[in-house]
Amino acid sequence: MLKDLPFFLLMILAMSFWGASWASGKVISNRVPPDVIVFWRLTLTFLSFLIMLLIFNRKKLKLSFSKILWILLPSIFFVTYNKLFFEGLKIGLAGKGGVIVTTLNPLLTFLITIAFLKHKVSTSQIIGLFIGLAGGVIILEIWDVSFEGLVLSGNFFFAISALAWAIVTVLTQYALEKIDFQTFCLYVYGTNSILSLFLALPHNPTAVFQQDHVFWLNMLYISIGAISFATSVYFYASKKLGSNRTSSFTFIVPFTAVTSCWIFLNEKPTSFTIIGGLLALIAIYIINFSTEKAN
C-alpha cells in the first residue's frame, strides 16, 4: 500500500479541487448558457494542458488511426458529463449535486466493471462502497427530500452525469493501456473542445467576453484547476490504481463540495455533513486496503 501513497495523496488533493469546483461552477452557471460554459471550460483546459506540454515535454505526441476510437468514446461521455453538470447547477444546489454525483459514481463504476467487464470484487470492497454511499446519503439528508424535489431540483441531471463519468472512468483505464497518458489527455481535451463547440454555436459563445473578472476567475479555476490538474491526475491514477480504486476517491468530493458551498455560497452544512464525510473517508480506506490485500 505504501508504494501507492504518492497517488493516494495526489488523488486527495485532486478530489479537493473537484469538490470546490461545484461552488465555482454554481457562481457562473446562470451567467451564460450551460453549453457556452462547457465549451470555454473544455477549450481553456485543452489550451492550458497544451502549454504545459510545450514547456515540460518536448517529444511529439502522435496518435495512430487505429486508436482514434479510444479518444472519441471517452470524449463523448466527457462532454456529456460536463453538459449535465452545468444543466444541473443552473437549477439545483451545488452542494447536493456534488454529493449525488460523487457517491453514485464509484457505485456505478463498480457495477459496470462487474456486469460488463466481469471483474471480481471482494466482500470488503462491496461493504466499503455501501459505507461510502451511506455517507453520501447522510450528507444529502435524503429523508427530508421528496421524490418530486429530486426530479425538479436538477438532481436528475446530476444522477445521469454520474453515470456518464463512471463510463469515462472505465473507458480511460482501458484507453491508457493502449495510449500514452500525455497523448491521451492532449487528444481527449482537444476533441472535447471541438465537440462542445457544436453545442455552443447556437448560443453565441463570444458572449463570455462581456463577463467580469469574477466570472473569469471561476472559469479559470474549473478549467485549469479542476480539469487540467485534477482530472489529469484522475486519469493517470486510473491507469496505476485501476478504475474501481480510483473512483473510490470521489467519496472525498461530497465533503469538500458541501464545505466549499458553505464558505462561498452560504449553503450551511449540518452535523450530518461531518458524519457523512468521515464515512466516505472510511469507505476509501476499506476499498483500497482490501484491494491491496487481494493483490
Per-residue pLDDT of the chain (295 residues; tens, 9 = 90+): 566 777 788 888 998 998 899 999 999 999 999 999 999 999 999 999 999 888 877 677 888 888 999 999 999 999 999 999 999 898 887 887 887 787 788 878 878 887 777 777 788 888 888 888 888 778 667 777 666 665 556 778 888 999 999 999 899 988 988 999 889 999 999 999 999 999 999 999 998 999 999 999 999 999 999 999 998 888 888 777 777 777 778 778 888 888 899 888 888 777 877 788 788 778 877 876 665 454 4
- Distance from C-alpha of 53 to C-alpha of 59, rounded to nearest angstrom: 9
The C-alpha cell at 168 is 469515462
- Distance from C-alpha of 276 to C-alpha of 251, rounded to nearest angstrom: 10
Residue 282 has a pLDDT of 85
Which residue range(s) make up the domain with 262? 2-294
Residue 152 has a pLDDT of 59
Spell out the SS3 assignment of 119-164: CCCCHHHHHHHHHHHHHHHHHHCHHHCCHHHHHHCCHHHHHHHHHH
| Number of independent structural domains in the chain | 1
Stated pTM of the model: 0.84
